[in-house]
Amino acid sequence: MSAPLEGIVVVDLTRALSGPQAGMMLGDLGARVIKVEAPGHGDDSRSWGPPFVGPEADQSTYFLAANRNKESITSDLKSPEGVELLTRLVQRADVLLENFRPGALDRLGFSVARLHELNPRLIIGSISGFGHDGPEGGRAGYDQIAQGEAGLMSLTGPDPHNPQRVGVPIGDLLSGMNLAYGVAAALFERERTGRGRVVRTSLLASVVGVHALHGTAYTVADQVGRAQGNHHPAIAPYGLFACRDGKVQVAVAAQSQWSKFADAFGLDPQAPGMATNGERVRNRVAVIVAVEAAFASWDAEPLLARLAELGIPAGKVRTIDEVYEWDQTVSQHLLLSVDHAVLGPITIPGSALRLDDNPYCGGRAEHLPPPLLGEHNESVRAWLDDHDPPPAP
């Protein structure tokens, strides 16, 4: 097995979640990711918790979530030693990732021009909170702030009066994913041009970029989406419905499904206000009442079985522990077993990608555990000593 990014060296200057997510995705695909952290405390997420685990209860499970397949070295980038170390790394690297505030890397002496002077083939991947320019380009960016500023919270929650954040740091995760695929595209382009480029994204751009139907509803139809709980804004019935002993999710997304669904549960598919999807969306409350009345005599498990027989997409709402114990999750190799330097053998979530010659998450034959702070100080510096370019004449 060979990983798609085998041989690619990534210098990861990022911290928290957005940038580390990008570095981890590149590492999953085989890149060597060298994470540079501040001495003493390292990545901010090393202190985020609880839960903390380990003999000293000092290992953050938050950090474990975004830093597999990386090596960790420590250095103060504001010091002469740190400048020298980063210079050597840049000269050897294919990719540099950073999520400092705009301008911070320039102040350290590593502007885009300087980085490309050191290594014209370098891909520079950069994440900011609200963009690298514009009237608010210098703002610090954290996920929940971006979820609110970028409109996502206004679309999430039970109603327009109770905005809620998405339950995972989706702005961070999306920006990391966007940066990873942008970097991969730039590496492909470099095969033609021989030169690197800068790839930029932001939490703002990443959240706006997934507005999807809500975006065009506003830009084309001048309609502002609002939070409306667990029911789809443009399809009905599509959402979470009560039954006798719980709740089930049902997605009746095609007119043929509606006819089959209505007939099976004693509803009139041609009833006034319900004949077409547009009518059902406009009369959503009445549709929900009718469907839940039809489900009132059904328990969840037999109801889901009946929906499956009909070919109607449906499902339950699982808790996190149920997801990881589900045989379907296990069958998709979504969990990795790694040997952590302090924790020993642990299981962590893995990559969402499966390549045809390697079913085990991403493209690597063997996955690395999230590193201890500075765990690879000696090995990375020894590698640099062996591979530094010769001095200029």
* Residues known to be catalytic: 172
Phi-psi map region of 280: left, alpha, beta (phi>0 left; psi -120 to 50 alpha): alpha
Residue 284 contacts residue 238 (beta carbons within 8 Å): no
Cβ partners under 8 Å of residue 355, min gap 6: 4, 362, 363
Determine the residue type at 211: H
What DSSP letter does each residue of 197-222 carry, written as one string?
A: -EEEEEHHHHHHTT-THHHHHHHTT-
Residue 37 contacts residue 338 (beta carbons within 8 Å): no
Q: How far is residue 187 CA from its own chain's centroid?
A: 21
Measure the CA–CA gap between 34 and 70, rounded to whole angstroms: 6
Q: Which of 46, 53, 100, 56 minimizes the C-alpha distance to 78?
A: 100
